Amino acid sequence: MSLFSRLAGLSAFTMLFAFATPASANLVVNGGFENPDVASGTWKSFDSSDVAGWDGSRIEIWDNYNGETAHEGSQFAELNSDPYTGSAFSIYQDIETVIGETYDVSFAYQARQSERESFEFALIPDGSVASTWLLDDHTTSGWSIFSGSFIASAINTRLMFTSVTPETGTIGNFLDDVKVIVSVPEPGTLALLGLGLMGMGLSRRR
């Protein structure tokens, strides 16, 4: 293989990779709460500065503790809710977004102890709440999946989970596998692959 054709092959690979990555890359850092590592069968409470990507109050990370298994990987977060204190806890992360771009958002959630447990999920572009969903339909017996789409209206969008009824004796909700990806419909994906192949043809002609 000549040096020329090696370079042409490398160029084609680079272009395909560059086009393929944005469609599947998760914009949420540490969306599965696998960092920091907690020993299997235990849990630990962290300040937000110790949890990659996330901010919030007293973020608990569990690793297959107390018979609860993760939806993704081996760890998940507990969104705390202290009974009877009136204290609501939040876990949140700001992601960079492009105004007008459509994003798909999803996460796994599970009530810790009772079906009364609930929390709110909010999308907050540039500091003002745009959309909220109350997730009070779930059970303790397994993970449920929330999924939806949004069009960004700011260059950053906060994803925020907040416990909402601490005064009624709830103790927490589990979260895992939080994802935000650029929404790309199937025909768009094929078009991008076509562009990559066009790039390969061009580099061979040079």
Which residue's Cβ has the minimum distance to Ca ion?
32
Q: Does 70 bind Ca ion (CB under 5 A)?
A: yes
Q: What is the DSSP annotation of 52-92?
A: TT-EESSEEEEES-TT---SSSSEEEEEEB-TTT--B-EEE
CB of 182 to Ca ion, least distance (A): 22
Q: Is 125 in the site for Ca ion (CB under 5 A)?
A: no
Q: Is 176 in the site for Ca ion (CB under 5 A)?
A: yes
Q: Which is nearer to Ca ion, 37 or 115 (CB)?
A: 37
| C-alpha 98, offset from chain centre | 17
Is 72 an interacting residue with respect to Ca ion (CB under 5 A)?
A: yes
Name the residue type at position 112: R
Query: How far apart (Å, rounded) are the C-alpha atoms in residues 114 and 124?
Result: 28
Kindly tell me which residue out of 73, 169, 196, 199 binds Ca ion, with binding defined by CB under 5 A.
Answer: 73
Q: Is 68 in the site for Ca ion (CB under 5 A)?
A: no
Q: Does residue 37 bind Ca ion (CB under 5 A)? A: yes
Per CB under 5 A, the list member of 31, 32, 56, 166 interacting with Ca ion is 32
Range 74-113, binding Ca ion (CB under 5 A): 75
Measured N-to-C along each axis, helices 3-24 and 186-205 cross at an angle, to the nearest 10 degrees, of 160
The whole-angstrom separation of Cα 91 and Cα 59 is 7
Which tokens go with 132? 């909220």
Q: Which residues bind Ca ion (CB under 5 A)?
A: 32, 37-38, 63, 70, 72-73, 75, 176
